Amino acid sequence: MSYVPPLSDLRFLLNSVFDLAPLQALFAEQGFDAALALALLEEAGRFCAETLEPLNLKGDEAGCRLENGQPVTPPGFAEAYRQYAENGWCALSGAPAYGGQGLPHTLQVLVDEMVSGANLSFSLFPGLTRGATEAISAHANDELKGVYLPKMLSGEWTGAMALTEAAAGTDLGLLRTRAEPLADGAYAITGTKIFISSGDHDFGGNIIHLVLARLPDAPAGVKGISLFLVPKFLPDGTGGLGARNGFSVGALEHKMGIHAQPTCVINYDGAKGWLVGTPHRGLAAMFTMMNAERLFVGIQGLGVAQAAYGKAAAYAKERLQGRPPAGGTGPAPIIEHPDVRRMLLTVRAFVEAGRALAIWVAMQIDISRHHAEEKSRQQAEKLVSLLTPVVKAAFTDFGFEGAVLAQQVFGGHGYIHEWGMEQLARDARITQIYEGTNGVQALDLVSRKLELDDGQVVRGFLAGVEAELAAIEGLEEITAPVRAAVAELRGLTDAVLARAADAAETGAASADYLRAFALVCFGWMWARMAAAAPGAEEAEIREAKPALARFFVTRMLPQAQALGAAVRSGAAPLVALPAALF
């Protein structure tokens, strides 16, 4: 069962649900419109289905290996990346000044979903490279930009981020990697980093690490961290590769999933690097990449769930088991059984609402970067900041749950490696962990993002959702439950903000609040899609979207009310049991 790109849904979203006029105005020079977007997405989908997905199971089986200190990726991966780069996908949303195509991030997100669904291990190579280019573009000096960005956007060179150390994971203030000034203005980087995705590989070219380290005069904690660009090979001054830099791969991590991705332990032994941004302000600079990667990881969760759903739905139509519930003789396709339908509808209801929400957030990113008016840019940036932890955590939670439900549809065959479903579940699991665990994302939402502008950003966002729902006519059975859920979330938000000074209360509320927030956002998107469905070109869309919206508001959205009750119960049930009794 091959990966099937969601092109029909993309056509519906871009033609019927979202008004792309603002993006057409912002990217008029590139000739962007829905027709161009869909043509490019069709080509991306073909590449994912024909090139990347056939490598997925094989890559999982072969894994990466370390030969004489050099990571070797599974057969076909290096060639696939070369094709990906030659086809221009590395440059899609990159800055034109350095060889990028300058197309909207909205389009990039939709390509990322398909790449992630077809081959999650592969997706990290271009995804991390793009995140590194964004950090370099935002914070490096012109000389570094000129040397590194053209090669990274062309796909000749790749990127990685080196944050985590054995004693410094979430708490980066504990990191010990050192940066000593050199006479020529560069720095010597010494230390060990772990969990470095795409840290080294056999694709050829250079690998550009963005490394967090401490200068000799650095204050303690996160205020003493600086960011450095550390290439695998030093540039030779002519655009080529010079001497090998002073870092090496100490080991490859042995992981539950993403076996085809070389996750490295990197030893920096006086490696030469260059400061990116301001001394002691490296964490702020790295957050440019981290926030980009958090959104990307959320899209990974969405992509895996889409791939899992497609395989499970196809299997359910073919697999004959038991008698049909409506009566008659068997065996019947298992798609006829209500519980199988429940599982499939749950996954699909998340995937299609998640994709719509991803487009909405991505459009805000494009506005925040390219709109002519500063006020519009700032407003969009705040909305992106609010929703980044929601996308990262909710999409990966629902994505993993969706992969497991899809695996369950296969019954015993879902547990067998050859079907590929157990790999999807294993691969999806990491998305809930890396780039900041989902617990950290939830805490970020309730302790930081809700307080933006004294709570006015989240209140303004919810008011906008309510206004949009109120304008939808003739779909009361769908919009009424969503409006009620928004009202409940507004009250829940006020309750959480009222307890913001109490760290225990904030921590206790965080995970349940984030999930409730996500469910309300999905309900908003389902109302949007149900309203747009009558104008869709395809009869299947016109019939399916309202039915899926009704499923969501009756079977999934009510969970938000129970989550709200859990949040309101406060921290007491969580702190009552003494630590010694765990």
Instruction: Give catalytic residue positions.
Output: 435
Beta strand spans in 459-567 (E) = none
Tell me which long-range contacts 148-151 makes (C-beta under 8 A, separation of at least 24): 148/208, 148/229, 148/231, 149/94, 149/95, 149/98, 149/99, 150/98, 150/99, 151/205, 151/206, 151/239
CA 306 to chain centre: 14
Q: Quick count: other Cβ atoms within 10 Å of Cβ 411?
A: 14
Give the C-alpha separation, 479 to 549, whole Å: 10
User: 210, 161 in Cβ contact below 8 A?
Assistant: yes
Give the C-alpha separation, 280 to 299, whole Å: 31
Give the C-alpha separation, 211 to 227, whole Å: 6
The dihedral through the CA atoms of 291, 389, 396, 550 has a sign that is negative
Strand pairing class (233-235; 241-244): antiparallel
Return all residues near 242 (Cβ < 8 A) that are at least 6 apart: 233, 234, 235, 236
Compute CA distances 67 → 61, 160, 199, 264, 319, whole Å. Answer: 18, 20, 15, 13, 44
Return all residues near 406 (Cβ < 8 A) that are at least 6 apart: 305, 308, 309, 311, 312, 343, 344, 347, 414, 421, 424
Compute CA distances 101 → 89, 107, 288, whole Å. Answer: 9, 12, 20
Check residue 577 and report its DSSP letter. Answer: S
Residue 469 phi, psi (nearest 5) = -65, -40
Two tokens at 112?
């990322």
